[in-house]
Chains A and B, each alone.
Chain A
């Protein structure tokens, strides 16, 4: 666990010193959400109907935006080589990086989500479920994103490529994330969706470190 805590500590320290990076992602999230009322019109009923979906899509895109940086700077400056040959297991390093990514982008998105709900005239009954769904779902975005970010290291046009690789894999999280809020709004229990979201995150936690570590090893080979 030494490697995990050392890397997490370092990444959080770096994120704190480059706080504008996290704030940019947050600003993107807010802006992307604000575009929807401008595009579909300001009728409260329509906005309330699409609100949960819009928040989730904007969160997905915002998380995507910051993902290609997850390993890029370590790859560029040679730290990644050191991580690969360090005695600490590389899979734990991946978990530390994904965890740092979630803490620096996922958590701010969750915190900002209620404000977006307000903008979109979301029914008050949906707020709790929206936050819970985001809290359960966004960690899996960071984990799946880690695989994609590791795969595109050294590729031409990595950012655009990453979205092509990762967005299809985000589909289940999106469907169940939005589904949970819609269930809550129609007075059906949202528990099945929340359970599935939790299961997706647990599965991602157990499965993604291996392909991500394999991708990192072959990236520095």
Chain B
């Protein structure tokens, strides 16, 4: 078995981390949802709808975190030609896209009672939407080649180009938004946050991160096993 299909140490690490990540994810997500949905007080301004925030805000954080991770892994993959880094970046993309999608949907659900409409061209929603397209582009490019190595190299370059662009896009969207829509709406991050709301928020953030690590381990191992299978088929061909 040649090197590409056999990054043994990484697989061993992923196998060891996976049950821990799963346990932490399930425990903190359960606790976070219980605190967030049942055991915390409604907001004095937003009422019960504030509970969407516990799902929404950490998802938006994860959307950024996953993109950063993806771009970082891509840079490692290109500079040091490390096969596992490619696999990590590739495995991160759909998870990040799912978090981004969750942030968009919950943002929209929150917008209906707060703003009276499903979609508002709020600066944050708009930049998250564009981030979602960046994820889609990455995944589409990665899968657009018959030669998998080509796809992952091209996608790695795109991830880095995208990462350089994210702050520029964010800046321009903020600028555009303040021009077109004076910031009169209630922001998701209110003035200051009460500890009873902070607890579920932090629990959910930890839970999402652990969930990400759990699914990442799973996906990386599956991906490596798939390439082992392909390599074996090619050897026997």
Contacts and interface: CB of A to CB of B under 8 A. Distances in A.
Contact of A172 (B136, B144, B158, B168): B168
Contacts of B26: none
Nearest to A207: B164
A33 B200 CA distance: 50
20 contacts: A147-B157, A151-B141, A151-B158, A152-B141, A155-B154, A165-B137, A165-B158, A168-B130, A168-B133, A168-B137, A169-B161, A169-B162, A169-B169, A172-B171, A179-B176, A211-B160, A214-B78, A214-B157, A215-B154, A218-B154
Contacts of A156: 144-146
Given A172-B169, A175-B173, A176-B172, A151 B145 contact: no
B165 interface: yes
Indicate the member of A147, A168, A179, A200 with the most B CB atoms within 10 Å: A168
B168 A200 contact: yes
B136 A171 contact: no
Interface of B: 78, 130, 133-134, 136-137, 140-141, 144-146, 150, 153-154, 157-158, 160-162, 164-165, 168-169, 171-173, 175-176, 179
Nearest to A208: B161
Interface of A: 147, 151-152, 154-158, 161, 164-165, 167-169, 171-172, 175-176, 179, 182, 196, 200, 207, 211, 214-215, 218-219, 221
A127 to B, nearest CB: 21
Contacts of A161: 137, 140-141, 144
B157 A168 contact: no
A105 B212 CA distance: 44
A152 B136 CA distance: 14
Contacts of B158: 151, 165
A157 B161 contact: no
Indicate the member of B157, B161, B162, B165 with the most A CB atoms within 10 Å: B161
Contacts of A164: 133, 136-137, 140
Rank and list the top 7 A-B pairs by shortest CB-CB distance, nearest first. Answer: A155-B144, A172-B172, A165-B137, A175-B176, A175-B172, A218-B153, A168-B133
Contacts of B150: 154, 218-219, 221
Contact of A151 (B130, B134, B154): B154
B156 to A, nearest CB: 9
A161 B175 CA distance: 28
A196 B172 CA distance: 10
Nearest to B177: A175
